[in-house]
Amino acid sequence: MAFTAHEPGAMADLRRAAWRWLHGWWRIVHLGATLIVLALSPASYDAPQRSALARHIYLGSAPALAWFSVLSALLSLIVIRIVLVTSLSYGLSQYALEMVVRVLVLELIPLTAALFAALRCTLPQAADVATLRAEGGWARLIEQGQDPVRREVLPRVAAGIFAVCLLAAVSCGLTLVLAYLSVYGFNTTGFAAYTRTVGHVFDPGVAMIFTLKIVFFALAVALIPVASVLYDRPHPRLGTSTELQGLVRMFLLILLIEAVSLVGNYY
């Protein structure tokens, strides 16, 4: 009887939670569509906007590029060494290079680049937007006849997307170079075999999935934190802030993208 008495309230809470969840994702999609329209508008590239865009892109990518390159190189060397030694011990050395490319370049490096860009770039920028709104800067822009989404959100989201793509591209290229040097050394004798192996891994289907995965990683990492601080509200009953809600959404979407790419690559 107690369960029956509480069931309507529990179902109502469940419906409200589902509605908030769907509404939150709809707002993220809506913000993304709005930013695409603004990015295609020539009015978004006046002199102040270009300056803000260049500043955010530089601050979001340049300071993190060297550190991430070093970290990804160390991680790549460790994984490459483990794979080479293990494959040699089992007599599977002919598959070692292909496994290195698949494990590192296809899977680990893009995921690591997205998470690193989120921690270094997009989450702090979302916090800046939240601070701007809390201190009245959002209202001041509206009073001045300016669009705060165009002036403050678009440059930050563009910087986050650029950071993910840049970090992934540089680290994947660096990993491919390190894999070649680890197997063949500082000579060109294995270049033909190496390019055949990489080309075998990156067939047209895999290359398309790889590119789409990086693009969707970049969109998730750049959009969700900012959308959460703009539209979400804290849940006192659950003890969750808007930043935490955005972080959970971002991780869930990244895991979903990674799972879909694995299915597309290997099934």
Give me the residue spans of the domains in the chain: 47-266
* Whether residue 236 has pLDDT greater than 70: no
Q: What angle do CA 35, 240, 216 make, to 5 degrees?
A: 35
Q: Is the pLDDT of residue 188 over 50?
A: yes
The pTM score is 0.87
The total number of residues shown for the chain amounts to: 267
pLDDT at residue 23, rounded to an integer: 78
Q: What is the pLDDT of residue 135?
A: 85
CA dihedral 69, 75, 76, 80 (to 10 degrees): 170
Average pLDDT over every residue of 109-138? 90
Residue 174 has pLDDT above 90, yes or no: yes
- How large is the average pLDDT for residues 237-259? 79
Whether 192 shows a pLDDT value over 80: the answer reads yes
Give the position of tokens 């934190």: 225
In sequence order, the 6+-apart residues with CB closer than 8 A to the CB of 100 are: 79, 80, 83, 84, 179
Confidence tier at 247 by pLDDT (50, 70, 90): confident
Q: Which two tokens stand for residue 36?
A: 């695409």
